[in-house]
Structure 1
Amino acid sequence: MRYLMLIRSDPATAPTAGPDPALAEDMGRLIEEMTKAGVLLDTAGLRPIEEATRIRLADGATTILDGPFTEAREVIGGYCLVQTRTREEAVEWGSRFLRLHGPEWTMEVEIRQLDQP
């Protein structure tokens, strides 16, 4: 089964200095472990919300909105696409990712199974 993990955070609560080098090293080790386990299909961080564009459909009309978005209290900062045997296994990988960050971060990972074609 394939799962998409959406990594959400609140920019107002993120450490102002960003991730420290130790976190980047820990993340690299986790990604390497996931790759060796054959679980990781793809992963990436996303550019800042200030560079985003939203396309909104309302009442049959589309509107294009360029960032920054002042109401953005929670943003998707990255994603991870995994293939696991069970939902529980995907949850464990997502939990391990979050635990790397430590108490100074407030984040969540939303895990959604992809529809099979």
Structure 2
Amino acid sequence: MRFMIIRKADADTEAGKAPDRELAATMIAYHEEMAKHLKILDGNGLKPTSTGARVHFQGGKPLVIDGPFAETKELIAGYTLVEADSLEQVLEWAKRWPAECDGGDGLILEVRPVYEIEDFGDAFDADLKAQSERIGLGGAKQPA
């Protein structure tokens, strides 16, 4: 099963504060150790919302809202996508997140299972499954 560990934003991440070398090394060491127990599929930090935008649909029409966005506790600062046997296994690693990464604002990590195409039952027939795989959706890798 695939799971996403979502690192919620805080004042430092929204300010675009880059980690120093010590903090970066701590995070790499944490992920390196995690990779010995879980399969890491992807992971990245996200730039502050001031560099992005939201597309809000109202009545079927898109409205673009430029960042920044005020409510940091609802924002995402980064993620790690892993493959594991259970939610409990991923939670054990989330609980080991380095304390140095707190930023003083009470770090929040959210762990959520990722839908697999099979979870949608009959909505994805063989043709839609194949099309999804061709374009890399549903965890499928695009052919090289």
TM bracket (short chain): 0.7 to 0.9
Percent sequence identity over aligned pairs: 30
Aligned ranges 1:5-44 → 2 under 5 Å: 5-11=5-11, 19-44=19-44
2: distance between equivalents of 1:17 and 1:114? 29
Aligned to 1:84: 84
Kindly state the Cα deviation for residue 37 of structure 1 after the two structures are TM-superposed. Answer: 3.2
Aligned to 1:68: 68
SS of the residue corresponding to residue 41 of structure 1 reads strand
**Structure 2 unmatched ranges of 5 or more:** 118-144
Identify if the C-alpha distance between structure 1 residues 107 and 94 changes in structure 2 by more than 3 Å, giving closer, same or farther. same
User: Who wins on radius of gyration, i.e. which is larger?
Assistant: 2
**Structure 1 unmatched ranges of 5 or more:** none
Does 80-89 or 103-112 show the bigger shift? 103-112
Kindly state the Cα deviation for residue 115 of structure 1 after the two structures are TM-superposed. Answer: 1.3
2: distance between equivalents of 1:102 and 1:12? 10
2: distance between equivalents of 1:32 and 1:19? 18
Higher relative contact order (CA 8 A, sep 6+): 1
Name the structure where strand makes up a greater proportion of residues.
1
Identify if the C-alpha distance between structure 1 residues 57 and 12 changes in structure 2 by more than 3 Å, giving closer, same or farther. same
Identify if the C-alpha distance between structure 1 residues 57 and 98 changes in structure 2 by more than 3 Å, giving closer, same or farther. farther
Name the structure where helix makes up a greater proportion of residues.
2
Identify if the C-alpha distance between structure 1 residues 16 and 59 changes in structure 2 by more than 3 Å, giving closer, same or farther. closer
RMSD of equivalent CA atoms: 2.6
Identify if the C-alpha distance between structure 1 residues 55 and 98 changes in structure 2 by more than 3 Å, giving closer, same or farther. farther
Give the number of equivalent residue pairs: 116
Identify if the C-alpha distance between structure 1 residues 56 and 84 changes in structure 2 by more than 3 Å, giving closer, same or farther. same
